[in-house]
Amino acid sequence: MNYNIIIALILVLLSAGLAGKATKTDNPVKTVDSVDLSRYLGVWYQQAFFPARFQKADCGKVVTAEYSLDKKGKINVTNTCYSDPEGKVIRKQAKAKAWTVDPSNSKLKVMFFWPFKGDYWIVKLDQKNYSYTVVSDPHREYLWILSRSKIMDKKTFDEIVNFLGTNGWDLSRLVVTAPIN
């Protein structure tokens, strides 16, 4: 087998993938100005998200993301899908490490297993109360709307969805996972 052909095919596939991502540079993803990590830590409840190969649409009745600091200053991440609406029976759990990559603390890297890491960009945040956050990546492939409570009020949810639509996210991919009142 000719290894030059294989390498050429890999390069073509990588180029095609990068070219698709490059088309969104006219409307780059912006993060919030600053994040106080001590206020950001704790439990967040998923309200809506973009399904991905690592998190399917039927993950659970309640989905949480919990963040805490370890002794080295890295962030422990525990994502949990619960099979019951009370959030007591664990269906699936994933643990990771995260760390900030910019002085604003709004851009992080997350690694669930070495050597693969992903972008975790905080693109919207209730700066006053830290009651909700919106997390994505620089290519708008992933998205999570999280809140401190299991139920988000409709006015806040609609404001977030409007922000996302105005700023280039494909809302046809959005799956609502928690009650909106």
CATH number of the domain to which 106 belongs: 2.40.128.20
Q: Report how many domains make up the chain.
A: 1
Write down the pTM of the prediction.
0.84
- The SS3 call for residue 81 is strand
- The SS3 call for residue 116 is strand
Distance, first Cα to last Cα, the chain: 60
Taking the C-alpha atoms of residue 13 and residue 130, their distance in angstroms, rounded to an integer, is 41
Taking the C-alpha atoms of residue 154 and residue 107, their distance in angstroms, rounded to an integer, is 27
Query: Is 23 a member of any domain?
Result: no
Pairing of strands 132-136, 116-125: antiparallel
Count CB atoms within 10 A of the CB of residue 139.
14
Chain centroid, CA 42 distance in Å:
16
Tens-digit pLDDT string for the chain (181 aa): 433 333 333 333 333 344 444 444 578 999 999 999 999 999 999 999 999 877 777 777 899 999 999 999 899 999 999 988 888 888 889 999 999 999 999 999 999 888 889 999 999 999 999 999 999 999 999 999 999 999 999 999 999 999 999 999 999 999 999 988 8
145 with 123: CB under 8 angstroms?
no
Query: Is 96 a member of any domain?
Result: yes
